[in-house]
Amino acid sequence: MTQHTVGLFARELGGAGKRPLVLLHGLLGSGRNWQTVGTGLAEAAGGANVWALDMRNHGKSPWSEGMDYDAMAADVLAWFDASGLGAVDLMGHSMGGKVAMVLACRRPERVRRLAVVDIAPKDYLSHGHRAEFAAMHELRLSELRSRGEAELKMEGRVPDWAMRKFLTTNLEQDATGGWRWIVNLPVLTAALPALEANPLAADEGFAGPAVFVRGGRSRYVEDADLPGIRCRFPAARIETLAAAGHNPHMETRAEFCAVVGAFLAAGGQEPMRAETAAT
């Protein structure tokens, strides 16, 4: 990983233990998405020291023209090095889950345990985020008066209320009261084909302890994807949170913390077993 890296912004979310747990958010998210669940994981995982990173072109981290999985994985690895960390427990959601998989497969000595949230090692070209990105581009920020107004203006393209709320968390007012995006919207839009693709080569895998947590109401990890996960991650557990959609860490927080916390606290050494369902 010789990519040009950027210095990532990090939030420490709790835990006084010596075992670092690093959390990676999804597309258009930030480390803020993990604040509440990060505290819960610090407790459930038996004293893990929890950190949430803002990926490049997101949140408080620097912007860069490069936006692919190699670059993001290199950023995370550089943050490990700058923070004096050796092997860590690593968890990623959606886009962040792909980054976590890349890092685990290519630098397995730096990943003690891997947790991947509602994403699989496959292409996601049919899922896309085209409507959401179109709605964001169509907003006239110079005329915008509030986040609530932004939500209303996006309703035609983004009917889901929770998704509109999520998108507008990326709006921030400047010193003059004007609105701006805190994500690098042009670069992220151009990078969508690369971000939707499977970043792993056919022969890449990770033999270490892993758990894949999927939402029972989400279409991101389907039953047909499970053999592919187990082929690349032979020690993986598959956990389904039946009541959750694509964001089980937010939608079913208590169950999520219990499942992932138990995996991390136990050292993740359980043998591969059949899929379980937590409700």
- How confident is the model at residue 274, as a pLDDT? 35
Q: What confidence tens digit (pLDDT) does each residue in 13-45 have?
A: 987 767 899 999 999 999 999 999 998 998 887
Long-range contacts of 125-130 (CB under 8 A, 24+ apart): 125/193, 125/196, 125/197, 127/196, 127/219, 127/220, 128/192, 128/196, 129/27, 129/28, 129/192, 130/192
pTM for the predicted model, two decimal places: 0.92
- How confident is the model at residue 127, as a pLDDT? 61
Q: Which residues of the chain have pLDDT under 50?
A: 1, 268-279
Range list of H helices, 109-198: 130-138, 147-153, 161-168, 185-196
The Cα 218–Cα 211 span in angstroms is: 17
- How confident is the model at residue 255, as a pLDDT? 96
- How confident is the model at residue 278, as a pLDDT? 40
